[in-house]
Amino acid sequence: MSDSITMGGGKREFICIVCPVGCPLKAEGDGDAVKVTGNACPRGAVYGRQEYLRPMRVVTSNAAVQGGDRPLVSVKTSGEIEKARIPDALARIRGLIVSAPVEIGQILIDDLAGAPLVATAAVGKV
Amino acid sequence: MTGIRATDVAVIGAGPAGLAAAVAAVDKGANVLLLERDARPGGILQQCVHNGFGLHYFGEELTGPEYAARFAGEAARRADRVSFLPDTMALSLDSDRTITAVSPREGPLTIKPGAVVLAMGCRERARGALGIAGTRPAGVYTAGAAQRLVNLDGYLPGRRVVILGSGDIGLIMARRLTWEGAKVLMVCELMPYSSGLNRNIVQCLRDYDIPLYFNTTVSRVHGSERVEAVTVVKVDGKRQAIPGTERVVECDTLLLSVGLMPENELTRMAGIQLDPVTGGAVVDERRQTSLPGVFACGNVLQVHDLVDHVSREAEIAGRYAAGYAKAGTLPMPKLSVSAEGFTRYVVPQRISAEPEGMVDLYFRVGDAVKPARLTVRTADGKTILTRRKKAMTPGEMEHVKVDVSKLTGDVVVVTEAVGNV
Ligand SMILES: Cc1cc2nc3c(=O)[nH]c(=O)nc-3n(C[C@H](O)[C@H](O)[C@H](O)COP(=O)(O)OP(=O)(O)OC[C@H]3O[C@@H](n4cnc5c(N)ncnc54)[C@H](O)[C@@H]3O)c2cc1C
Ligand code: SF4
């Protein structure tokens, strides 16, 4: 995976995802100075710079529930985390066992790669 | 037999459409019976654990279960006026709006409502609809069925996966399965473009170096007990397989994400007119079907990509269903709305004799147009509005607001390509 490294120089290409046009972006830089080309509007430059320097993603998954009326509860990071840390985050979610009942919005892990992990559904107790 | 139940409005299906319709009907003074064949409300959103829902409606990004929970909460707050009947399957709808249903708790039910809202959602197209050759081993799933297995039941459907179809469900599942430890080998797309959102192509495929092959399909499934491989083949401009381009890809799972079909068995039973393009009922701007007092909204009416639009459409249907239940009548359709140029269909297909205020026309194009000009005109040639759009794709539903008081005749929604002749 070529574009998962934080910082780092060189030229990289992205598709802008900010609007349906999907401009093909080229980003090049060293350190914090990033030059973005190919963007038809300023929002693309902001996105390209972020993608180049430090791509961020929300992670959504499921965690195992003990004693619940369902075996799983859906979860998300309540903000974006660094893309490079997603594998770690997923491994920790896989190891998680939550006891029922679970409230929607309940914090399940305080700091998962930089953001809290919260439940996105409620699970009742059996 | 548990007698006959009367109610102002019966809503069939408690996905986001049914929930929003029920809430809107109550807020217009109706009592509502909400029938759902599943044990819980929420519909397909229960298994859509990814985020991206609600940006338009709530101005924030929610996951599917969170979005559903907001509407289920609104319905629960009106519990004195909404009776939720879980595990209840509607079996038939008559032309006099009588519904028969069955549930393990209540047995058979006959419901005589003042008005009906159809909110049954849609179904995925399965292998049978595609005619893929080869054996019938285990390991062929629709993407939605696989999503249910992973997200609700906690099973991984396979370890080496080929996905056919690059719509959003296929893309979301590529990432979901990758995150759960499976290897997604490729996504094949019959068309020269994806109907999925750019964001999903980037964040579900590119992030994980999963190749997306356009003009490519799966022509054969191999394996006796379990899928062992699939044959992948390139197609020409007429979507015919190109001989000599076949390639056998070893895998244990094939996911099909090849389109959704509105689930209109009940609609058909009641003799309601269907639109052959959308697969849903023909409705007017109040979402009333050709059978007075029966309304439709959500994926049973037209396949939506944004649940936000589902909620808005359902609120219209719920509101007018309550109105019909009270008054026993609504103005009948007067004008028709049709599609021209790249426009593939328009919903609503009719405008009633007494439309109120501004009406949103929802439509899709049949092919990617970049850039495009959109014109709404009357059949007698009067232009109502024109808009320029940077890009329009079949994957994104468009809508345009029209002042219906200006309408002097049938309406035509035209999409043309501009500039790049
Ligand atoms: C895999 C997937 C991913 C999606 N991703 C997104 C996304 O990222 N963002 C977004 O905005 N939208 C997304 N959508 C679209 C959105 O989820 C749908 O548009 C929305 O759920 C449709 O709502 P609905 O109520 O019409 O249908 P559904 O949610 O399908 O609900 C229909 C309900 O009716 C019930 N029912 C059907 N027949 C009967 C019967 N005879 N008797 C009783 N009950 C019945 C069903 O059990 C179901 O609960 C996605 C959809 C899918 C399938
Ligand atoms: S650069 Fe601007 S116009 Fe191009 S895709 Fe991004 S947001 Fe859209």
Per-residue pLDDT reduced to its tens digit, B205-236: 999 999 999 999 999 999 999 999 999 999 99
Taken in order B51, B54, B56, B59, the sign of the CA dihedral is negative
Q: How far is B7 from chain A (nearest CA, A)?
A: 30
Contact B202 A1 (CB under 8 A): no
- B274, B294 in Cβ contact below 8 A? no
Q: Please name every residue paired with B232 in a beta bridge, in sequence order, or none if there are none.
A: B218, B247
For residue B126, name the pLDDT band (cuts at 50, 70, 90).
Answer: confident
The helix or strand, by DSSP H or E, that contains position A74, with its residue range, turns out to be strand A72-77
Structure tokens at A19: 């609007």
Contact A20 B61 (CB under 8 A): no
Residues 18-77 of A with CB under 8 A from B: 19-22, 40, 57-62, 64, 70-72, 74-76
Q: Which residue of A has its CA nearest to B390?
A: A21
Nearest protein Cα to ligand 2, atom 6: A44
Chain B CB contacts of A126 under 8 Å are none
Q: How far is B171 from chain A (nearest CA, A)?
A: 14
Nearest protein Cα to ligand 1, atom 30: B121
pLDDT of residue B125: 87
- Among A13, A14, A23, the mutation site with the greatest number of ligand 2 atoms within 8 A of its Cβ is A23
pLDDT of residue B190: 93
Contact B50 A83 (CB under 8 A): no
Which region holds residue B403: left if phi is over 0, alpha if psi is between -120 and 50, else beta? beta
Rounded Cα–Cα distance for residues B33 and B11 (Å) = 6
Chain B CB contacts of A16 under 8 Å are 198
Ordered domains of chain A (ranges, CATH): 3-53 (no CATH), 60-119 (3.10.530.10)
For residue B421, name the pLDDT band (cuts at 50, 70, 90).
Answer: very low
Rounded Cα–Cα distance for residues B313 and B56 (Å) = 13
- B164, B258 in Cβ contact below 8 A? yes
Whether residue B163 has pLDDT greater than 70: yes
Contact B152 A21 (CB under 8 A): no
Q: How far is B207 from chain A (nearest CA, A)?
A: 8
Q: Residue range A43-55: average pLDDT?
A: 93
For residue B138, name the pLDDT band (cuts at 50, 70, 90).
Answer: very high
Rounded Cα–Cα distance for residues B184 and B378 (Å) = 49
- Kindly state whether A5 is in contact with chain B, defined as any CB-CB distance less than 8 angstroms: no
Which of A9-23, B21-35, B56-70, B89-103 has the lowest average pLDDT?
A9-23
For residue A1, name the pLDDT band (cuts at 50, 70, 90).
Answer: very low
The response to whether residue B71 sits with its C-beta less than 6 Å from ligand 1 reads no
For residue B357, name the pLDDT band (cuts at 50, 70, 90).
Answer: confident
The helix or strand, by DSSP H or E, that contains position A42, with its residue range, turns out to be helix A42-53
Q: Residue range A80-93: average pLDDT?
A: 96
For residue A2, name the pLDDT band (cuts at 50, 70, 90).
Answer: very low
Contact A57 B66 (CB under 8 A): no
Query: How high does pLDDT run on average in chain B?
Result: 94
Q: Which residue is listed with tokens 């299906």?
A: B13
Chain B CB contacts of A92 under 8 Å are none
- B288, B348 in Cβ contact below 8 A? no
pLDDT of residue A6: 44
The response to whether residue A45 sits with its C-beta less than 6 Å from ligand 2 reads no
pLDDT of residue B127: 74
Atom of ligand 1 nearest to the CA of B265: 41
Atom of ligand 2 nearest to the CA of B198: 5
A41 Cα–ligand 2 center, Å = 5
For residue A33, name the pLDDT band (cuts at 50, 70, 90).
Answer: confident
pLDDT of residue B370: 86
Sequence length of chain B is: 421
Query: How high does pLDDT run on average in chain A?
Result: 90
